Amino acid sequence: MDLNGKFITFEGAEGSGKSTQAGLVLNYLESKKLPVTLLREPGGVKISESIRKLLLDVKNTGMGDECETLLYMAARAQMVKEVLQPQLNSGKIVLCDRFLDSTIAYQGYGNGIDVKTIEQLGLFAAKGIAPDLTILFDIQPEKGLSRAGTKKDRIESRSLEYHGRVRGGYLDLAKKYPGRIKLIKVDADKEEIFKRVKSHIDALLAI
């Protein structure tokens, strides 16, 4: 597979500000007239957005951990086929708000699904496509959840212990893949955080 674009993902716990930063990176790259798209997971295309509704609906209390994992993968597979792969093939820079690391952190470390199984399913769903760069925003669950607002979805409503395991998962991933994953502590205002994000983006894209 010859992918000549660049794939950059934004990861982190609830309320870490990753979506805001992804938007700032989009504006920055557009201002440089670079060909860039921003997607989100789960979602990004019609079928995956429908799956997102199922996944986040608080009414779906009976959803099993295996079903949840496979639905995240199903949403991913459709997004990869419809946009990610074609856009990377055509040389675009694709920014994605969450990707496979989220499944490892939330369904693997959070729910206890075997991480190797998730990695294998991830390869299948994403056709082997992996990020060139991942920016991971680290925040304490207490802080993040309070920033996430009061109307919580099915995943946000989980316990502080659950979100603590998710954070631990992310930190393990950052240790395991120090070349790809750049860890940013959310300990400053969004302008300062963006400066740190931008330095990693500039290094990857050589701009």
Residues at the interface with ligand TMP (CB under 6 A): 14, 40-42, 72, 97-98, 102-103, 106-107, 155-156
Nearest partner of 15 among 148, 137, 140, judged by Cα = 148
CB 11 within 8 A of CB 98: yes
Cβ(30)–Cβ(72) under 8 Å?
no
CB 112 within 8 A of CB 65: yes
Taking the complex as a whole, the smallest distance from the CB of residue 91 to ligand TMP amounts, in Å, to: 25
Comparing CB distances to ligand TMP, the nearer of 72 and 170 is: 72
Q: How far is the CB of 42 from ligand TMP (least distance, A)?
A: 5
Using CA atoms, how far residue 120 sits from 83, 92, 138, 166, in Å, is 21, 26, 26, 20
Nearer to ligand TMP, 5 or 110 (CB): 110
Least separation in angstroms between CB 78 and ligand TMP: 13
* Angstrom distance (rounded) from CA 147 to CA 3: 37
CB of 72 to ligand TMP, least distance (A): 4
Report in angstroms how near the CB of residue 117 gets to ligand TMP at its nearest.
14
For ligand TMP, the closer of residues 41 and 138 by Cβ is 41
Nearer to ligand TMP, 170 or 194 (CB): 170
| CA distances in angstroms from 79 to 28, 32, 85, 160, 165, listed in the order given | 24, 26, 9, 30, 27
Cβ proximity to ligand TMP: between 58 and 207 the closer is 58
Three-class SS of residue 10?
strand
Sign of CA dihedral 159, 148, 41, 61: positive
In the bound state, the residue with its beta carbon closest to ligand TMP is 106
**Least distance from C-beta 44 to ligand TMP, angstroms?**
10
Residue among 63 and 205 whose Cβ is closer to ligand TMP: 63
